[in-house]
Structure 1
Amino acid sequence: QVALKRHFDNPRLKIIIGDIRDYGKVDFACRNVDIVFHLSALKHVPIAEEFPYECIKTNINGTRNLVRASIANNVDKVIDVSSDKACLPINLYGMTKAVGEKLILNGSRLGSKTKFMVIRGGNALGSAGSVVPFWISQIKRFNKISITDKEMTRYFLTLPEAVKLLFIATKSDINGGLFVMKMPSCKMIDLAEVIIEHYGDKNTQIEVIGIRPGEKIDEVLVSKHETPNAYEYGKQYYIITTNPNDKLKHQKTLNKTLEEYNSYQHLSALKHVPIAEEFPYE
């Protein structure tokens, strides 16, 4: 908190220390607020498997607190940042994010002035606790990278892209929509090789450690069960809604052209990814 204040040095910025599990503190944080971006989560799959009750308290109870507090304080809009792991979840983290999506979307049906929407996306490259900083640290300490499976694929976008998409969502007038970012995916082995090219050397090793409990080989952003209610929404999104507005109701749903939207279908070349510029960890 002190570092944030010093870095931004803006009287309009108010830093509040608290816990999303504490309704009173969440209610206090929502006072005189126009837009809430909900990114609070216990997000690591293996940790959620090991400590399920803690994950539930943060990801489900915390989201419930946020919905209640936003309505009580007449917040204009709540934008929940969800995860591809919420789609067809097989691990506890994904299940809690799926429940969180339902809680947010239910908020749009409670008759308040607050609008609610969900953005379901993949992994932000270089975000706190994510794989790229971890790999860079591994190279510096052990000159190796560990991956779980050479065939594993994941969706990725850069941090500037993620921020831009959030601000685009603030301009939407749709209440109760689940927005899905259109984004490229890659094999984790390919991403590992790009990281080694920038931060390793000819002796840097890749160690395959095996898939961990709760992990998928490929991720899904729109399931085949959701495509009948999914529509194109501009260049950046698909939107999943059972109540399409005038902009959507004349469009064909995605099940006419796409069974599901998964990371294996959208593999991209990584040779143009600006790794060195994106992750200045040296």
Structure 2
Amino acid sequence: MRSRLFGLVERLSRTHKRLVFLSIDILIVECALLATLMLEASSLWPGEELAQIGAVFLFLPPVAAALSTALGIPNIRLKAYESLSYTQTANFSALLVVALWAMFGLKNFHFTLIGYALFGLTFFIGSVGVRLAMLNAYLLVLRWGQRRWRVAIYGAGTTGVQLAAALKNHESIVVVAFIDDDEGQQSMTIAGLKVHSPDKIERLVREKEVDRVLLAMPSASAPRQMQIAHRLQSLGLDVLALPSFAQLVGTEALIDNLAPVVPDAFLGRQSVDDQITTGSTVYPGKSVMVTGAGGSIGSELCRQLLALKPRKLVLFEVSEKALYDIDRELRELPDFAGVELVPLLGSITDSRATRTAMADHGIEVVIHAAAYKHVPLVESNPVAGMSNNVLGTRILADAAEESGVERFILISTDKAVRPTNVMGASKRMAEMVVQDLAKRATRTSFAIVRFGNVLGSSGSVVPLFKEQIRKGGPITLTHEDVTRYFMTISEAVQLVLLAGSFPVGGAEADVFVLDMGKPMRIRDLAEQMILAAGYRVRDEANPDGDIEIRMIGLRPGEKLHEELLIGAGLLTTPHAKILRARERSLTELDMAKALQSLRHATATGDAQAARAVAAAYVEGFGGIAEGQSPVFADRLP
């Protein structure tokens, strides 16, 4: 039944619908005139004059049709028949009264002012009443058998009222209430709906069976809207936000593009990007391989290497998507011309794949950026972390020496210095692997580049804080006083390329570090980012602020303060901002024992044994005191 009625209405063309409305108006005109005459005639006119009024019934309908068409009354959609349409209908009624007065004047009929007013009012009520009745009937057909979403509007201001009016005739939505923070609005009735306090949301949801809440407060800050949304979502409600005018016209997105978060602004020191020049003689014309080419550091390495015009750039990456993205990006850069790009899917723990890649492509320089680096993940997955970061580095470095690679550069981290977590311990063991091979290498020069946290890289605090700010907070910190060394991705990559160009030699692999200034307090960084986003910090001193900074406690294995050096003292390099450290390493025998134990632990999937290997050979991990011999073989299983 519903579908047949709905189909009948929908099959009518727009012209047919206009004719229907026009015919209805003409019929209402005749009925209004007849009703008015019946009320007025018995006392005003002699009976013989009533027969002559028929002429008015003949001439008034075409006049009404012309006026209705001129005013566009038949063009008003039934679902859009609201306040503005009432005004147009009132104007139409007034013009009909004027037309009737003119006709009666020509016939010399006496008609009172009350009679004219009664005619106009009767037509107006009839025209509006018929349309509203048709609208309700149409909506009844549409809603027949359909679920209707019961909606509350958060915000009883102008935007909320307009939204309620727009949804009034929606076939599947019924607005049941307003919610507003303004105490002056609460308990009032606006647009036929009661305004409720946010404190009564739970009861409102239960009593009114609310399914969704629409946020109609576009002038409120994004954090404020997100805080409200989080609270409503915790009640199991769907929450939708009405966009602001700036979002509708696109200016808000434009502003965001024009003012992105620039990591350099949060360094706490002057950037050295313009003070580092990469070695222009090492990479041009060479075949260079970058492992972890799709990662934050690896991808930037590829971009900067491309500008140095190597003969071939081999992108070695275990993630298919990451490899696809960086390969496509590099091919669209102007520097791509003249460079052979080779995307290779593979893992550094695959000995065959690494040796084949180096042999097939005549690799001359390897920059090893592939690693599992997220501290909490590696802490809960020690076998995978140690296998990839330690054994993978050994496999790759062995392949480089056997293939006659000229230079091998390992990218390390400050977390490798007296580590308290598995990730840091695995990176320190990777350093020791490279140091061990450097003692015996005859064909390959090995170097290690160690730096602190990289602003803007995957998993770093800048994108994390930015996302938390976007969601309205809170920003989560592990500790009030935690500090870290910071550098930009560009600085880190230029350090790697520069270190790879330095002359190296001797029985130990050089460890290069950047002069990064003083470590930065993470809370200060969080506050700077909140202010840079145009918001205020919310705390006890400023309860009306936008974004809260919440302490969650140090994670397992996390340090309060990081270090860059294990030993004391630094040596100079050809560049004033790059320093060199010579740090002790394991003996060849100890390194062999460590790797054997680690291979056994990973082969059996024994997480405890993997941790024990790190505790036995890495200074600072597992309670080894500073200055004490790092080798405790009796700790091993």
Partner of 2:479: 149
Partner of 2:356: 28
Instruction: Give CA deviations for 1:103-137 in whole Å, capped at 9, x if unaligned.
Output: 11112112321000101110111012212111111
Distance 1:59 1:48 in 2: 10
DSSP 3-state at the match of 1:14: strand
Unaligned runs of 5+ in 1: 244-282
- Superposition pairs for residues 56-75 of structure 1, below 5 Å? 56-75=386-405
How far the C-alpha of 1:100 sits from its partner, in A, is 0.5
Greater helix percent: which structure? 2
- Superposition pairs for residues 1-282 of structure 1, below 5 Å? 1-9=323-331, 10=336, 12-31=340-359, 32-175=362-505, 176-184=509-517, 185-199=519-533, 201-202=535-536, 203-223=546-566, 226-227=567-568, 230-233=570-573, 234-241=575-582
Distance 1:2 1:222 in 2: 37
Distance 1:89 1:124 in 2: 18
Q: 1:227 to 1:45 in 2, by over 3 A?
A: same
TM norm structure 2 = 0.37
CA-based RMSD: 1.7
Distance 1:194 1:16 in 2: 41
How far the C-alpha of 1:34 sits from its partner, in A, is 1.6
DSSP 3-state at the match of 1:30: helix
Greater strand percent: which structure? 1
The one-letter code sitting in structure 2 at the alignment partner of 1:147 is L
Instruction: Give CA deviations for 1:78-120 in whole Å, capped at 9, x if unaligned.
Output: 1111111111111111111111001111121123210001011
User: For the Cα contact (< 8 Å) 1:152–1:188, is it kept in 2?
Assistant: yes
Unaligned runs of 5+ in 2: 1-322, 537-545, 585-637
Instruction: Give CA deviations for 1:162-204 in whole Å, capped at 9, x if unaligned.
Output: 1211121122111321112211320000111121122362201
User: For the Cα contact (< 8 Å) 1:48–1:93, is it kept in 2?
Assistant: yes
Once superposed, which parts of structure 1, at least 4 consecutive aligned residues long, lie more than 6 Å away?
none
User: For the Cα contact (< 8 Å) 2:477–2:551, is it kept in 1?
Assistant: yes
Distance 1:195 1:21 in 2: 39
Q: 1:87 to 1:242 in 2, by over 3 A?
A: closer
How far the C-alpha of 1:141 sits from its partner, in A, is 2.1
User: For the Cα contact (< 8 Å) 1:139–1:200, is it kept in 2?
Assistant: no
User: For the Cα contact (< 8 Å) 1:165–1:236, is it kept in 2?
Assistant: no
TM norm structure 1 = 0.81
Once structures 1 and 2 are overlaid, which stretch shifts more, 33-42 or 6-15? 6-15
Computing the radius of gyration from Cα coordinates, the structure with the larger value is 2
Distance 2:403 2:514 in 1: 29
Distance 2:450 2:327 in 1: 30
> How many residues are matched?
240
DSSP 3-state at the match of 2:342: coil
User: For the Cα contact (< 8 Å) 1:152–1:187, is it kept in 2?
Assistant: yes
Instruction: Name the % identity.
Output: 32
